[in-house]
Structure 1
Amino acid sequence: MALRLFEGKEHAASYCKYRISPSDQLIQRVIDFFEKQRTRPFELAVDVGCGSGQGTVMLAKHFASVVGTDVSPAQLEEASLHAKEPNITYRRCVAEELPFADNSVDLVTAMSAFHWFDRPRFLQEAHRVLNPNGCLALLNYTLSMELSYPDCSVDALNQVCKELYAALNPYRSSHLGANSKDLYREAYESIPYPDKEWEDCVWVRKPMTLSSFIGFVQSFSSYQALLREDPQKAASLSQDFCQRLMSIMQVTSAETEVVVAVKYLYLLARKPLEV
Protein backbone atom coordinates (compact mmCIF):
# COMPACT_ATOMS: atom_id res chain seq x y z
CA MET A 1 0.00 0.00 0.00
CA ALA A 2 1.00 3.63 -0.30
CA LEU A 3 3.08 5.26 2.39
CA ARG A 4 1.00 7.78 4.34
CA LEU A 5 2.75 11.00 5.28
CA PHE A 6 2.02 14.75 5.34
CA GLU A 7 -1.29 14.14 7.15
CA GLY A 8 -0.95 16.20 10.34
CA LYS A 9 -2.59 19.63 10.47
CA GLU A 10 0.64 21.49 11.20
CA HIS A 11 2.48 19.73 8.39
CA ALA A 12 -0.44 20.36 6.02
CA ALA A 13 -0.39 24.07 6.86
CA SER A 14 3.38 24.21 6.31
CA TYR A 15 3.00 22.28 3.07
CA CYS A 16 0.39 24.77 1.85
CA LYS A 17 2.47 27.80 2.81
CA TYR A 18 5.90 26.77 1.56
CA ARG A 19 5.72 24.08 -1.11
CA ILE A 20 6.89 25.16 -4.55
CA SER A 21 4.37 24.73 -7.35
CA PRO A 22 5.24 23.58 -10.86
CA SER A 23 5.69 26.56 -13.17
CA ASP A 24 3.12 27.62 -15.75
CA GLN A 25 5.63 26.58 -18.41
CA LEU A 26 5.89 23.08 -16.95
CA ILE A 27 2.10 22.69 -16.80
CA GLN A 28 1.97 23.93 -20.39
CA ARG A 29 4.25 21.08 -21.44
CA VAL A 30 1.67 18.69 -20.02
CA ILE A 31 -1.14 20.47 -21.86
CA ASP A 32 0.83 20.57 -25.12
CA PHE A 33 1.40 16.80 -24.95
CA PHE A 34 -2.25 16.20 -24.11
CA GLU A 35 -3.44 18.49 -26.91
CA LYS A 36 -1.49 16.72 -29.65
CA GLN A 37 -4.28 14.17 -30.05
CA ARG A 38 -7.20 15.97 -28.40
CA THR A 39 -9.36 18.94 -29.27
CA ARG A 40 -10.91 21.37 -26.82
CA PRO A 41 -12.94 21.53 -24.71
CA PHE A 42 -11.12 19.32 -22.22
CA GLU A 43 -13.49 17.79 -19.71
CA LEU A 44 -12.07 16.14 -16.58
CA ALA A 45 -8.61 16.22 -14.96
CA VAL A 46 -7.83 14.39 -11.73
CA ASP A 47 -4.84 15.45 -9.61
CA VAL A 48 -3.93 12.51 -7.38
CA GLY A 49 -2.10 13.08 -4.10
CA CYS A 50 -2.96 16.74 -4.51
CA GLY A 51 -1.91 17.78 -1.00
CA SER A 52 -2.91 21.39 -0.41
CA GLY A 53 -3.77 21.86 -4.07
CA GLN A 54 -0.97 24.02 -5.48
CA GLY A 55 -0.81 21.97 -8.67
CA THR A 56 -4.54 21.31 -8.84
CA VAL A 57 -5.44 24.97 -9.27
CA MET A 58 -3.05 25.27 -12.20
CA LEU A 59 -5.17 22.81 -14.20
CA ALA A 60 -8.42 24.70 -13.67
CA LYS A 61 -8.11 27.05 -16.64
CA HIS A 62 -7.59 24.12 -19.01
CA PHE A 63 -10.42 21.76 -18.00
CA ALA A 64 -14.15 22.02 -17.45
CA SER A 65 -13.75 20.12 -14.17
CA VAL A 66 -10.75 19.36 -11.99
CA VAL A 67 -10.84 16.99 -9.02
CA GLY A 68 -8.00 16.86 -6.50
CA THR A 69 -7.76 13.68 -4.46
CA ASP A 70 -5.74 12.96 -1.34
CA VAL A 71 -5.82 10.57 1.61
CA SER A 72 -5.32 13.34 4.18
CA PRO A 73 -8.33 15.30 5.51
CA ALA A 74 -5.94 18.00 6.79
CA GLN A 75 -4.40 18.50 3.36
CA LEU A 76 -7.81 18.60 1.68
CA GLU A 77 -9.02 21.13 4.23
CA GLU A 78 -6.08 23.40 3.33
CA ALA A 79 -6.76 22.88 -0.36
CA SER A 80 -10.44 23.75 0.00
CA LEU A 81 -9.64 26.91 1.96
CA HIS A 82 -7.54 28.26 -0.88
CA ALA A 83 -9.45 27.02 -3.94
CA LYS A 84 -11.37 29.92 -5.49
CA GLU A 85 -11.99 28.40 -8.92
CA PRO A 86 -15.59 27.12 -9.22
CA ASN A 87 -14.63 24.12 -11.36
CA ILE A 88 -12.35 22.56 -8.69
CA THR A 89 -13.57 19.98 -6.17
CA TYR A 90 -11.68 17.75 -3.74
CA ARG A 91 -12.30 14.16 -2.72
CA ARG A 92 -10.69 11.97 -0.11
CA CYS A 93 -9.43 8.60 -1.35
CA VAL A 94 -6.28 6.55 -1.70
CA ALA A 95 -4.34 6.87 -4.94
CA GLU A 96 -4.82 3.21 -5.80
CA GLU A 97 -8.64 3.30 -5.57
CA LEU A 98 -9.91 6.32 -7.48
CA PRO A 99 -13.67 7.04 -7.32
CA PHE A 100 -14.12 7.37 -11.07
CA ALA A 101 -15.67 5.10 -13.67
CA ASP A 102 -13.66 3.21 -16.28
CA ASN A 103 -12.59 5.35 -19.24
CA SER A 104 -13.95 8.56 -17.71
CA VAL A 105 -10.95 10.85 -17.08
CA ASP A 106 -9.06 12.90 -19.66
CA LEU A 107 -5.93 13.65 -17.63
CA VAL A 108 -4.52 12.01 -14.50
CA THR A 109 -1.71 13.90 -12.80
CA ALA A 110 0.42 13.32 -9.72
CA MET A 111 2.72 16.19 -8.79
CA SER A 112 5.48 15.31 -6.34
CA ALA A 113 3.34 12.45 -5.04
CA PHE A 114 3.73 9.34 -7.22
CA HIS A 115 6.81 8.16 -5.31
CA TRP A 116 4.68 7.71 -2.17
CA PHE A 117 2.08 5.51 -3.87
CA ASP A 118 1.90 1.77 -4.36
CA ARG A 119 3.26 2.50 -7.79
CA PRO A 120 2.23 -0.61 -9.80
CA ARG A 121 -1.32 -0.45 -8.39
CA PHE A 122 -1.61 3.26 -9.10
CA LEU A 123 -0.47 2.83 -12.70
CA GLN A 124 -3.10 0.12 -13.16
CA GLU A 125 -5.73 2.40 -11.64
CA ALA A 126 -4.73 5.33 -13.82
CA HIS A 127 -5.01 3.07 -16.85
CA ARG A 128 -8.51 2.00 -15.75
CA VAL A 129 -9.94 5.50 -15.33
CA LEU A 130 -8.26 7.16 -18.32
CA ASN A 131 -10.22 7.67 -21.48
CA PRO A 132 -8.69 6.26 -24.66
CA ASN A 133 -6.36 9.06 -25.78
CA GLY A 134 -6.32 10.30 -22.19
CA CYS A 135 -2.98 11.15 -20.61
CA LEU A 136 -1.02 10.40 -17.48
CA ALA A 137 1.38 13.08 -16.22
CA LEU A 138 3.78 12.44 -13.34
CA LEU A 139 5.89 15.40 -12.20
CA ASN A 140 8.45 15.69 -9.44
CA TYR A 141 11.13 18.08 -8.31
CA THR A 142 14.55 16.82 -7.26
CA LEU A 143 17.05 17.91 -4.62
CA SER A 144 19.09 19.46 -7.41
CA MET A 145 18.25 22.95 -6.13
CA GLU A 146 20.40 26.01 -6.48
CA LEU A 147 20.27 29.26 -4.53
CA SER A 148 21.51 32.53 -5.95
CA TYR A 149 21.88 35.99 -4.49
CA PRO A 150 23.47 39.10 -6.06
CA ASP A 151 27.23 39.45 -5.58
CA CYS A 152 27.36 36.18 -3.68
CA SER A 153 29.16 32.92 -4.38
CA VAL A 154 26.66 30.41 -5.75
CA ASP A 155 29.07 27.59 -4.95
CA ALA A 156 29.34 28.64 -1.32
CA LEU A 157 25.55 28.89 -0.92
CA ASN A 158 24.93 25.54 -2.50
CA GLN A 159 27.66 23.79 -0.55
CA VAL A 160 25.69 24.67 2.58
CA CYS A 161 22.54 23.28 0.96
CA LYS A 162 24.31 20.04 0.04
CA GLU A 163 25.49 19.64 3.62
CA LEU A 164 21.94 20.10 4.88
CA TYR A 165 20.56 17.52 2.46
CA ALA A 166 23.31 15.12 3.57
CA ALA A 167 22.35 15.69 7.21
CA LEU A 168 18.73 14.86 6.39
CA ASN A 169 19.53 11.82 4.25
CA PRO A 170 19.56 9.34 7.20
CA TYR A 171 15.92 10.29 7.80
CA ARG A 172 14.88 9.69 4.21
CA SER A 173 12.17 7.04 3.81
CA SER A 174 13.35 3.68 2.50
CA HIS A 175 10.19 3.71 0.36
CA LEU A 176 11.98 6.19 -1.92
CA GLY A 177 15.04 4.06 -2.56
CA ALA A 178 18.41 5.65 -3.14
CA ASN A 179 17.11 8.11 -5.73
CA SER A 180 13.45 8.89 -6.38
CA LYS A 181 14.30 9.77 -9.99
CA ASP A 182 14.92 6.06 -10.57
CA LEU A 183 11.35 5.29 -9.49
CA TYR A 184 9.97 7.60 -12.16
CA ARG A 185 12.28 6.25 -14.84
CA GLU A 186 11.26 2.71 -13.90
CA ALA A 187 7.60 3.71 -14.23
CA TYR A 188 8.31 5.26 -17.62
CA GLU A 189 9.91 2.06 -18.83
CA SER A 190 7.07 -0.09 -17.48
CA ILE A 191 4.19 1.83 -19.12
CA PRO A 192 3.36 0.00 -22.38
CA TYR A 193 1.85 3.01 -24.18
CA PRO A 194 3.69 3.79 -27.42
CA ASP A 195 3.18 7.56 -27.11
CA LYS A 196 5.12 8.76 -24.09
CA GLU A 197 7.72 11.35 -23.17
CA TRP A 198 10.45 11.61 -20.52
CA GLU A 199 12.37 14.68 -19.40
CA ASP A 200 14.59 14.93 -16.34
CA CYS A 201 16.06 18.43 -16.57
CA VAL A 202 13.50 21.21 -16.43
CA TRP A 203 14.61 24.12 -14.28
CA VAL A 204 12.00 26.22 -12.48
CA ARG A 205 13.30 29.46 -10.94
CA LYS A 206 11.35 31.18 -8.23
CA PRO A 207 12.15 34.24 -6.10
CA MET A 208 11.30 33.79 -2.43
CA THR A 209 12.49 34.94 0.95
CA LEU A 210 15.20 32.94 2.63
CA SER A 211 12.76 32.14 5.44
CA SER A 212 10.32 30.69 2.89
CA PHE A 213 13.08 28.51 1.46
CA ILE A 214 13.85 27.27 4.98
CA GLY A 215 10.13 26.55 5.43
CA PHE A 216 10.15 24.63 2.15
CA VAL A 217 13.03 22.47 3.37
CA GLN A 218 11.25 21.93 6.68
CA SER A 219 8.27 20.51 4.78
CA PHE A 220 10.46 17.69 3.39
CA SER A 221 9.47 14.25 4.67
CA SER A 222 13.06 13.68 5.90
CA TYR A 223 13.01 16.87 7.97
CA GLN A 224 9.61 15.96 9.38
CA ALA A 225 10.96 12.51 10.33
CA LEU A 226 13.85 14.18 12.17
CA LEU A 227 11.41 16.59 13.82
CA ARG A 228 9.37 13.70 15.18
CA GLU A 229 12.48 11.92 16.45
CA ASP A 230 14.38 14.87 17.90
CA PRO A 231 12.63 18.29 17.76
CA GLN A 232 15.62 20.09 19.28
CA LYS A 233 18.05 18.65 16.76
CA ALA A 234 15.71 19.55 13.90
CA ALA A 235 15.35 23.14 15.13
CA SER A 236 19.11 23.51 15.59
CA LEU A 237 19.77 22.13 12.13
CA SER A 238 17.44 24.57 10.39
CA GLN A 239 18.63 27.54 12.49
CA ASP A 240 22.26 26.77 11.73
CA PHE A 241 21.42 26.34 8.05
CA CYS A 242 19.72 29.73 7.95
CA GLN A 243 22.53 31.50 9.83
CA ARG A 244 25.22 30.06 7.57
CA LEU A 245 23.37 31.18 4.44
CA MET A 246 22.81 34.67 5.88
CA SER A 247 26.50 34.90 6.74
CA ILE A 248 27.55 34.03 3.19
CA MET A 249 24.99 36.48 1.78
CA GLN A 250 26.14 39.12 4.29
CA VAL A 251 22.58 39.95 5.32
CA THR A 252 20.92 40.21 8.73
CA SER A 253 17.34 39.29 7.84
CA ALA A 254 15.89 35.94 6.80
CA GLU A 255 13.26 37.94 4.91
CA THR A 256 15.91 38.74 2.29
CA GLU A 257 14.85 37.51 -1.14
CA VAL A 258 16.84 34.83 -2.95
CA VAL A 259 16.23 32.96 -6.19
CA VAL A 260 15.65 29.23 -5.84
CA ALA A 261 16.19 27.09 -8.93
CA VAL A 262 14.52 23.69 -8.72
CA LYS A 263 15.09 20.91 -11.23
CA TYR A 264 11.98 18.98 -12.24
CA LEU A 265 11.45 15.73 -14.08
CA TYR A 266 8.29 14.56 -15.78
CA LEU A 267 6.75 11.51 -17.39
CA LEU A 268 3.92 11.89 -19.91
CA ALA A 269 2.07 8.96 -21.44
CA ARG A 270 -1.02 8.68 -23.64
CA LYS A 271 -3.42 5.75 -23.33
CA PRO A 272 -3.96 4.26 -26.82
CA LEU A 273 -7.34 4.33 -28.55
CA GLU A 274 -7.27 0.55 -28.60
CA VAL A 275 -5.68 -1.46 -25.79
Structure 2
Amino acid sequence: MYKLLLGILPLLFVGCKKEKAVEKEIVKTIDNTCYSSDFMEKILNLEEIKSEAKFLESETKGKGKIGFLVDSTKVNNGWDYSISVGYNGPDRFETYHIFQASSDQCNSLKIMEPVSGDYISIEKWRQMTNESVQPESGLKKGKYNLPIESLPRVDVKFLETDFLPEGSQQYTCGELKFRYFPLTPYKGMDLILVPMDCGDFDYRYYLLTVVENKIVGELYVEGIWFDPGKDDKKEEFSSYEISKSGKVTVTTDHTLDGESQSITNAYYQISDDGKIIEIKK
Protein backbone atom coordinates (compact mmCIF):
# COMPACT_ATOMS: atom_id res chain seq x y z
CA MET A 1 0.00 0.00 0.00
CA TYR A 2 2.79 2.45 0.95
CA LYS A 3 4.68 1.55 -2.18
CA LEU A 4 1.59 2.29 -4.26
CA LEU A 5 1.15 5.72 -2.65
CA LEU A 6 4.81 6.57 -3.13
CA GLY A 7 4.46 5.68 -6.77
CA ILE A 8 1.40 7.88 -7.22
CA LEU A 9 2.85 11.00 -5.47
CA PRO A 10 5.45 11.83 -8.17
CA LEU A 11 2.72 11.63 -10.77
CA LEU A 12 0.59 14.06 -8.77
CA PHE A 13 3.46 16.57 -8.51
CA VAL A 14 4.15 16.29 -12.20
CA GLY A 15 0.50 16.74 -13.03
CA CYS A 16 0.15 19.82 -10.79
CA LYS A 17 3.27 21.63 -12.13
CA LYS A 18 2.24 24.87 -13.91
CA GLU A 19 3.59 25.49 -17.36
CA LYS A 20 5.04 28.96 -18.10
CA ALA A 21 2.75 30.96 -20.38
CA VAL A 22 4.14 31.76 -23.82
CA GLU A 23 4.40 35.56 -24.24
CA LYS A 24 2.86 36.89 -27.41
CA GLU A 25 5.06 39.13 -29.57
CA ILE A 26 3.86 42.72 -29.40
CA VAL A 27 4.33 44.66 -32.63
CA LYS A 28 4.47 48.40 -32.03
CA THR A 29 3.24 50.63 -34.84
CA ILE A 30 4.36 54.20 -35.37
CA ASP A 31 1.81 56.60 -36.80
CA ASN A 32 3.59 59.03 -39.16
CA THR A 33 0.36 60.68 -40.18
CA CYS A 34 -0.34 64.32 -39.33
CA TYR A 35 -3.82 65.76 -39.30
CA SER A 36 -5.17 69.26 -39.75
CA SER A 37 -5.06 69.87 -35.99
CA ASP A 38 -1.31 69.10 -35.98
CA PHE A 39 -0.66 71.62 -38.75
CA MET A 40 -2.83 74.26 -37.07
CA GLU A 41 -0.68 73.89 -33.97
CA LYS A 42 2.47 74.33 -36.08
CA ILE A 43 1.00 77.45 -37.67
CA LEU A 44 0.08 78.97 -34.31
CA ASN A 45 3.69 78.46 -33.18
CA LEU A 46 5.12 80.51 -36.07
CA GLU A 47 6.52 83.80 -34.77
CA GLU A 48 4.72 85.74 -37.51
CA ILE A 49 1.34 84.27 -36.51
CA LYS A 50 2.04 84.91 -32.83
CA SER A 51 2.72 88.55 -33.67
CA GLU A 52 -0.48 88.83 -35.72
CA ALA A 53 -2.49 87.16 -32.95
CA LYS A 54 -1.12 89.62 -30.41
CA PHE A 55 -1.96 92.58 -32.65
CA LEU A 56 -5.46 91.23 -33.32
CA GLU A 57 -6.12 90.74 -29.62
CA SER A 58 -4.96 94.29 -28.93
CA GLU A 59 -7.13 95.80 -31.69
CA THR A 60 -10.26 93.91 -30.60
CA LYS A 61 -9.62 94.39 -26.87
CA GLY A 62 -9.20 90.67 -26.33
CA LYS A 63 -12.29 89.61 -28.26
CA GLY A 64 -10.61 88.66 -31.55
CA LYS A 65 -8.66 85.44 -31.97
CA ILE A 66 -6.84 83.77 -34.85
CA GLY A 67 -9.19 81.38 -36.65
CA PHE A 68 -8.89 78.64 -39.27
CA LEU A 69 -10.81 77.43 -42.30
CA VAL A 70 -9.71 73.96 -43.41
CA ASP A 71 -10.43 72.31 -46.76
CA SER A 72 -9.51 68.60 -46.81
CA THR A 73 -9.06 66.49 -49.94
CA LYS A 74 -8.65 62.70 -49.86
CA VAL A 75 -5.53 61.64 -51.80
CA ASN A 76 -4.67 57.91 -51.99
CA ASN A 77 -4.16 56.87 -48.36
CA GLY A 78 -3.80 60.37 -46.95
CA TRP A 79 -5.18 63.90 -46.95
CA ASP A 80 -4.18 67.20 -48.52
CA TYR A 81 -5.07 70.29 -46.52
CA SER A 82 -5.65 73.90 -47.52
CA ILE A 83 -5.63 75.91 -44.30
CA SER A 84 -6.75 79.53 -44.30
CA VAL A 85 -5.60 81.57 -41.31
CA GLY A 86 -7.17 84.85 -40.30
CA TYR A 87 -9.67 86.75 -38.21
CA ASN A 88 -13.06 85.13 -37.82
CA GLY A 89 -15.04 88.33 -37.38
CA PRO A 90 -18.74 88.74 -36.60
CA ASP A 91 -19.59 89.44 -40.25
CA ARG A 92 -17.02 87.50 -42.26
CA PHE A 93 -13.74 85.58 -42.18
CA GLU A 94 -10.78 87.84 -43.02
CA THR A 95 -7.98 85.71 -44.48
CA TYR A 96 -4.39 86.61 -43.58
CA HIS A 97 -2.53 83.62 -45.05
CA ILE A 98 -3.26 80.32 -46.82
CA PHE A 99 -1.12 77.29 -45.98
CA GLN A 100 -0.79 73.95 -47.77
CA ALA A 101 0.08 70.63 -46.12
CA SER A 102 -0.19 66.85 -46.61
CA SER A 103 -0.92 64.25 -43.95
CA ASP A 104 2.04 62.08 -45.02
CA GLN A 105 4.55 64.98 -44.85
CA CYS A 106 4.47 66.16 -41.26
CA ASN A 107 7.54 68.40 -41.58
CA SER A 108 6.41 70.15 -44.76
CA LEU A 109 4.30 73.28 -44.46
CA LYS A 110 4.01 75.74 -47.34
CA ILE A 111 2.44 79.17 -47.60
CA MET A 112 0.86 80.91 -50.59
CA GLU A 113 2.82 83.84 -52.04
CA PRO A 114 0.02 86.36 -52.72
CA VAL A 115 1.44 87.93 -55.90
CA SER A 116 2.19 84.75 -57.89
CA GLY A 117 -0.25 82.43 -56.11
CA ASP A 118 2.52 79.84 -55.75
CA TYR A 119 3.07 77.85 -52.56
CA ILE A 120 6.58 78.33 -51.19
CA SER A 121 8.49 77.20 -48.11
CA ILE A 122 8.26 79.18 -44.88
CA GLU A 123 12.00 79.97 -45.16
CA LYS A 124 11.65 81.46 -48.65
CA TRP A 125 8.54 83.40 -47.61
CA ARG A 126 10.44 84.92 -44.69
CA GLN A 127 13.33 85.84 -46.97
CA MET A 128 11.00 87.53 -49.46
CA THR A 129 9.16 89.34 -46.65
CA ASN A 130 12.36 90.66 -45.10
CA GLU A 131 13.87 91.88 -48.37
CA SER A 132 13.53 95.64 -48.59
CA VAL A 133 11.67 97.07 -51.56
CA GLN A 134 14.15 98.71 -53.89
CA PRO A 135 13.25 102.33 -54.68
CA GLU A 136 12.46 103.01 -58.31
CA SER A 137 15.41 104.51 -60.17
CA GLY A 138 15.18 107.47 -62.53
CA LEU A 139 18.22 106.19 -64.45
CA LYS A 140 17.91 104.05 -67.55
CA LYS A 141 19.42 100.58 -67.44
CA GLY A 142 22.53 99.83 -69.47
CA LYS A 143 22.25 97.44 -72.41
CA TYR A 144 25.78 96.04 -72.22
CA ASN A 145 26.91 92.80 -70.58
CA LEU A 146 30.09 92.16 -68.66
CA PRO A 147 32.92 91.99 -69.56
CA ILE A 148 33.11 95.54 -70.95
CA GLU A 149 36.03 97.38 -72.54
CA SER A 150 36.29 101.11 -73.21
CA LEU A 151 33.73 101.95 -75.87
CA PRO A 152 34.49 104.08 -78.94
CA ARG A 153 33.86 107.73 -78.04
CA VAL A 154 31.36 108.08 -80.88
CA ASP A 155 29.19 105.40 -79.22
CA VAL A 156 29.20 107.07 -75.82
CA LYS A 157 26.21 109.40 -76.08
CA PHE A 158 25.42 110.85 -72.69
CA LEU A 159 21.83 111.09 -71.50
CA GLU A 160 20.48 114.07 -69.57
CA THR A 161 17.98 113.80 -66.74
CA ASP A 162 16.41 115.94 -64.05
CA PHE A 163 16.68 112.95 -61.73
CA LEU A 164 19.61 113.50 -59.38
CA PRO A 165 20.94 110.47 -57.49
CA GLU A 166 22.19 111.28 -54.02
CA GLY A 167 25.75 112.63 -54.30
CA SER A 168 25.47 113.51 -58.01
CA GLN A 169 25.93 117.28 -57.59
CA GLN A 170 29.72 117.02 -57.74
CA TYR A 171 29.50 115.31 -61.14
CA THR A 172 27.26 117.83 -62.95
CA CYS A 173 29.96 120.44 -63.69
CA GLY A 174 27.58 123.07 -62.32
CA GLU A 175 24.74 122.14 -64.69
CA LEU A 176 21.15 121.61 -63.54
CA LYS A 177 20.82 118.28 -65.33
CA PHE A 178 22.74 115.09 -64.61
CA ARG A 179 24.59 113.62 -67.60
CA TYR A 180 25.43 109.93 -67.66
CA PHE A 181 25.94 106.92 -69.90
CA PRO A 182 24.39 103.64 -68.62
CA LEU A 183 26.76 100.68 -68.90
CA THR A 184 25.21 97.68 -67.16
CA PRO A 185 23.49 96.46 -63.98
CA TYR A 186 25.79 94.55 -61.61
CA LYS A 187 24.72 92.79 -58.39
CA GLY A 188 21.73 95.04 -57.83
CA MET A 189 23.54 98.29 -58.66
CA ASP A 190 23.93 100.40 -61.81
CA LEU A 191 27.32 101.01 -63.41
CA ILE A 192 27.40 104.32 -65.30
CA LEU A 193 29.92 106.66 -66.89
CA VAL A 194 29.78 110.41 -66.27
CA PRO A 195 31.77 113.06 -68.17
CA MET A 196 33.93 115.45 -66.16
CA ASP A 197 34.65 117.75 -69.11
CA CYS A 198 34.64 121.02 -67.22
CA GLY A 199 37.87 122.90 -66.50
CA ASP A 200 41.08 122.02 -68.32
CA PHE A 201 39.99 118.58 -69.55
CA ASP A 202 37.28 117.93 -72.12
CA TYR A 203 37.75 114.16 -72.18
CA ARG A 204 37.58 112.51 -68.77
CA TYR A 205 35.10 109.77 -67.81
CA TYR A 206 34.39 108.55 -64.31
CA LEU A 207 32.88 105.16 -63.51
CA LEU A 208 30.18 105.46 -60.83
CA THR A 209 28.28 102.79 -58.93
CA VAL A 210 24.69 103.70 -58.03
CA VAL A 211 22.99 101.75 -55.23
CA GLU A 212 19.38 102.56 -54.30
CA ASN A 213 19.65 105.95 -56.06
CA LYS A 214 22.83 106.84 -54.18
CA ILE A 215 26.31 107.16 -55.69
CA VAL A 216 28.56 104.87 -53.65
CA GLY A 217 31.77 104.40 -55.64
CA GLU A 218 33.77 106.43 -58.17
CA LEU A 219 36.86 105.84 -60.28
CA TYR A 220 38.53 107.78 -63.09
CA VAL A 221 38.75 105.23 -65.88
CA GLU A 222 39.07 106.91 -69.27
CA GLY A 223 40.39 110.10 -70.85
CA ILE A 224 43.44 112.29 -71.28
CA TRP A 225 45.42 113.94 -68.51
CA PHE A 226 48.26 116.44 -68.72
CA ASP A 227 49.78 119.09 -66.51
CA PRO A 228 48.18 122.40 -67.57
CA GLY A 229 51.06 124.36 -66.00
CA LYS A 230 53.74 122.75 -68.12
CA ASP A 231 54.49 122.67 -71.82
CA ASP A 232 56.43 119.41 -71.81
CA LYS A 233 54.17 117.46 -74.21
CA LYS A 234 53.61 114.76 -71.61
CA GLU A 235 50.17 113.16 -71.66
CA GLU A 236 48.47 110.15 -70.14
CA PHE A 237 45.79 108.22 -72.04
CA SER A 238 43.64 105.97 -69.82
CA SER A 239 41.20 103.21 -70.76
CA TYR A 240 39.44 100.49 -68.79
CA GLU A 241 38.05 96.97 -68.71
CA ILE A 242 35.45 95.50 -66.33
CA SER A 243 35.39 91.71 -65.93
CA LYS A 244 32.37 89.53 -65.18
CA SER A 245 33.46 89.36 -61.53
CA GLY A 246 33.53 93.17 -61.19
CA LYS A 247 37.30 93.58 -61.44
CA VAL A 248 38.25 96.90 -63.05
CA THR A 249 41.57 97.27 -64.89
CA VAL A 250 42.65 100.82 -65.75
CA THR A 251 45.43 100.94 -68.35
CA THR A 252 47.41 104.18 -68.74
CA ASP A 253 49.70 104.92 -71.69
CA HIS A 254 52.32 107.53 -70.75
CA THR A 255 53.39 109.47 -73.86
CA LEU A 256 55.91 112.16 -74.77
CA ASP A 257 55.36 114.12 -77.97
CA GLY A 258 52.80 111.51 -78.95
CA GLU A 259 55.22 108.59 -78.49
CA SER A 260 54.47 105.89 -75.91
CA GLN A 261 57.05 105.79 -73.12
CA SER A 262 55.50 103.25 -70.74
CA ILE A 263 52.22 101.51 -69.95
CA THR A 264 50.95 100.93 -66.43
CA ASN A 265 47.96 99.02 -65.07
CA ALA A 266 45.96 99.64 -61.90
CA TYR A 267 43.44 97.13 -60.55
CA TYR A 268 40.25 97.63 -58.58
CA GLN A 269 37.32 95.54 -57.36
CA ILE A 270 33.66 96.56 -57.22
CA SER A 271 32.44 95.23 -53.87
CA ASP A 272 28.94 93.93 -53.22
CA ASP A 273 27.99 97.21 -51.49
CA GLY A 274 29.13 99.32 -54.47
CA LYS A 275 32.48 100.56 -53.21
CA ILE A 276 35.40 100.48 -55.66
CA ILE A 277 38.47 99.19 -53.82
CA GLU A 278 42.03 99.28 -55.15
CA ILE A 279 43.77 95.91 -55.34
CA LYS A 280 47.33 96.24 -54.12
CA LYS A 281 49.93 94.31 -56.08
**TM-score (norm: length of structure 2):** 0.20
User: Greater relative contact order: 1 or 2 (C-alpha under 8 angstroms, separation 6 or more)?
Assistant: 1
Instruction: Determine which structure has the larger strand proportion and give its number.
Output: 2
Instruction: Determine which structure has the larger helix proportion and give its number.
Output: 1
**TM-score (norm: length of structure 1):** 0.20
Decide which structure has the larger Cα Rg and report it: 2
